[in-house]
Amino acid sequence: MRTGKILGISGPTVSVDLKGLKLYERVFVGHALLTGEVVRLERDQAVIQVYEETRGLGVGEPVKGVGRPLTVRLGPGLMGSMYDGLQRPLERMRQEMGPFIRMQKEMYGLDYMKRWNFVPHIKPGDVLSYGMIVGEVQEGAFTHYIMCGEEKGKVARVASGDISLDEPFGVFEDGLELPGCHEWPVRMARPFRKKFAPVTPLVTGQRIIDFLFPLARGGAAIIPGGFGTGKTIFEQSVAKFADVDIVVYVGCGERGNEMADLIAEFEELEDPWTKRRLTERTVLVVNTSNMPVAAREASIYTAVTMAEYYRDMGYHVLFLADSLSRWAEALREISTSLEEMPGEEGYPTYLASRLSAFIERAGVVETMSGKTGSLSMILSVSPPGGDFTEPVTQACLRTTGAFFMLDTALAHRRHFPAINWFQSYSLYGKELSGHYCREVAPEWEDLRNRCNHLLQQEESIREVAEIVGIEGLQDADRLVMRIAERIRNEFLGQNAYSDDAFSPPKKTLELIKSIVEFHDRAAEKLKQGISLDEAMKETGASSK
């Protein structure tokens, strides 16, 4: 390690005289070995962004360059774990320090002492390169494939049976050991052979999403909404019930009590797909609002790298971030401390390109081992004052394929999820409707169009009703308003804490089909000269 000393300190920004550093190289700062990252290089000095609290740090203390960028350790043991933004295990920190983290210290993200039953997929004489599958261990309900990292060459010896990550899983002919885990730079997307267009739906169990604005596996969506519109509850509901193999959830700048409730609930709930504890298919990355703000910027990269790792095993992974606005605020704070040129609303000028590069890591890919995996993203945004023209929301809109706008008025009426069905959209709708027509029912697309048409009709009729009153409307228009009310309350609205929190596609279809068929029967009665109240009674509904 190269060693230098601190020249100046300004909050989390530290100037050092250590030469030979590279941009984004990881460094240890001070006697406490605080983690930092090189963010600017000058002729005689380097500027370091420290990802921890710098209180007590002094000028002249040593600085050590690691020689590699900020990385995460990828291997068996990630599943069911909870980390901070730098992949330090929070449960182990709690055991050592108690419920309050008094100081940060370096900790391995994986348990190197735990033993795994390793089943090799290779044999001596095989030639390995990056991404090839070496073997497998069982990680809860999942088969965890051990993949080759940067090491390559001809295999001389392969381990088998009970083994820990502290031991070699194999040895190359040149004597280089093959480890059971490897490190990867968080800001660099993991490679793949080929990227495919998303064509398969990601079933979330939320009817308004699956039916009106479907999201594809490998797609990306944003959920912007003001304070109290239900972003966190919505993402937690999706995390519980989404038809994916693995969920990676990052709480980026969220309140500590919200994350505590999430963790407690995940530990109690049963995964509806595997019938095991929900935590056993979930990786949590937690950077609450009282944690160092600089580490918040790194937390989403730490989380998405772990998500890509499981994608590379051939799994379908869902990445949830709550919220990108707090990440952007951290980026703005860092940019300001570096005295960079500010852009719109004080955000750095590279905000849009950073977000685009991050969101592009979603997709369906053919991995380096030949498997097919997907990484889907649902990203919440908290625009100040519910202003969707602010920079973070607009930057996300350019890259994501679905937009689920949370409406404050709907949230105040206790309508969940409070997604506005007029302002939201999905670019995956046409392709995925064809899939639902083939796999669920041929009338899926027709019913979807009828549902949209009834809601649009109601909106037009409501404007007339505000002028002439409900009594001044024709019976056919009043029927549309009552049917649209049923669609809103019985179909689009779901209770997140009841059995209706998850609605599979067949249940979704049956429910909307029954409402539309009821409308058609009642409309036919009106054509026969029967009054609206009588028509509603004869078709099996109350006139209320």
Same domain, 451 and 324: no
Q: 105 in a domain, yes or no?
A: no
Same domain, 452 and 420: no
Domains held by the chain: number: 4
Same domain, 476 and 508: yes
CATH code for the domain in which residue 469 is found: 1.10.1140.10
Q: Tokens 């390559």 identify what position?
A: 152
Same domain, 369 and 480: no
416 within 8 A of 493, measured Cβ to Cβ: yes
Same domain, 230 and 154: no
Q: How far apart are CA 132 and CA 154, in angstroms?
A: 13
Same domain, 160 and 208: no
Of the residues 52, 69, 86, the one at which a domain ends: 69
Distances (CA, A) of 153 to 173, 175, 301, 302: 7, 10, 30, 29
Same domain, 172 and 219: no
Angle ∠(21,26,28) on CA atoms, nearest 5: 100
Which value, in Å, is the radius of gyration of the alpha carbons in the chain?
27
Of the residues 427, 456, 471, the one at which a domain ends: 427
pLDDT at 266: 79
248 within 8 A of 308, measured Cβ to Cβ: no
CATH code for the domain in which residue 255 is found: 3.40.50.300
CATH code for the domain in which residue 49 is found: 2.40.30.20
pTM: 0.92
Q: 463 in a domain, yes or no?
A: yes
Q: 135 in a domain, yes or no?
A: yes
Q: In the chain, which stretches have pLDDT less than 50?
A: 542-544
Question: Quick one: tokens of 179?
Answer: 């480890």
* DSSP line for 98-148: -SS--S-----SS-SS-EEEEEES--TT-EE-TT-EEEEEEETTEEEEEE-
From the CB of residue 516, how many other CB atoms can be counted at a distance below 10 Å? 20
Same domain, 226 and 375: yes
Q: How far apart are CA 287 and CA 267, in angstroms?
A: 19
Residue type, 162: D
Q: 346 in a domain, yes or no?
A: yes
- Burial class (CB within 10 angstroms; exposed 0-12, middle 13-18, buried 19+) of 130: middle
Distances (CA, A) of 367 to 71, 132, 173, 250: 20, 9, 26, 24
Q: 191 in a domain, yes or no?
A: no
pLDDT at 103: 59
Q: Give pLDDT tens digits for 127-145.
A: 999 999 999 999 988 999 9
Question: Quick one: tokens of 404?
Answer: 């689920």
Q: Give me the numbers of helices (H) and strands (E) for the chain, helices first please.
A: 14, 26
Same domain, 151 and 256: no
Q: How far apart are CA 282 and CA 259, in angstroms?
A: 14
From the CB of residue 451, how many other CB atoms can be counted at a distance below 10 Å? 22
pLDDT at 257: 79
What sign for the dihedral angle of Cα 417, 421, 424, 427?
Answer: positive
112 within 8 A of 144, measured Cβ to Cβ: no
Q: How far apart are CA 123 and CA 112, in angstroms?
A: 24
72, β-bridge pairs: 184
- Burial class (CB within 10 angstroms; exposed 0-12, middle 13-18, buried 19+) of 36: buried
Q: At what angle do helices 293-311 and 351-359 cross, to 10 degrees?
A: 30
What is the domain range of residue 31?
2-69
Same domain, 386 and 458: no
CATH code for the domain in which residue 119 is found: 2.40.50.100
pLDDT at 544: 36
Of the residues 16, 46, 69, the one at which a domain ends: 69
Distance of CA 481 to the CA centre of its chain: 37
Same domain, 175 and 202: no
pLDDT at 542: 42
pLDDT at 536: 83
- Give the start-end residues of each E strand in 338-481: 363-366, 372-381, 402-403, 425-426
Q: Give pLDDT tens digits for 259-281.
A: 888 788 777 777 777 777 888 89
* DSSP line for 71-100: EEEESTT-TT-EE-TT--BHHHHHHHH-SS
Q: 273 in a domain, yes or no?
A: yes
Same domain, 512 and 466: yes
Q: 242 in a domain, yes or no?
A: yes
Q: 282 in a domain, yes or no?
A: yes
pLDDT at 104: 62
Distance of CA 467 to the CA centre of its chain: 45
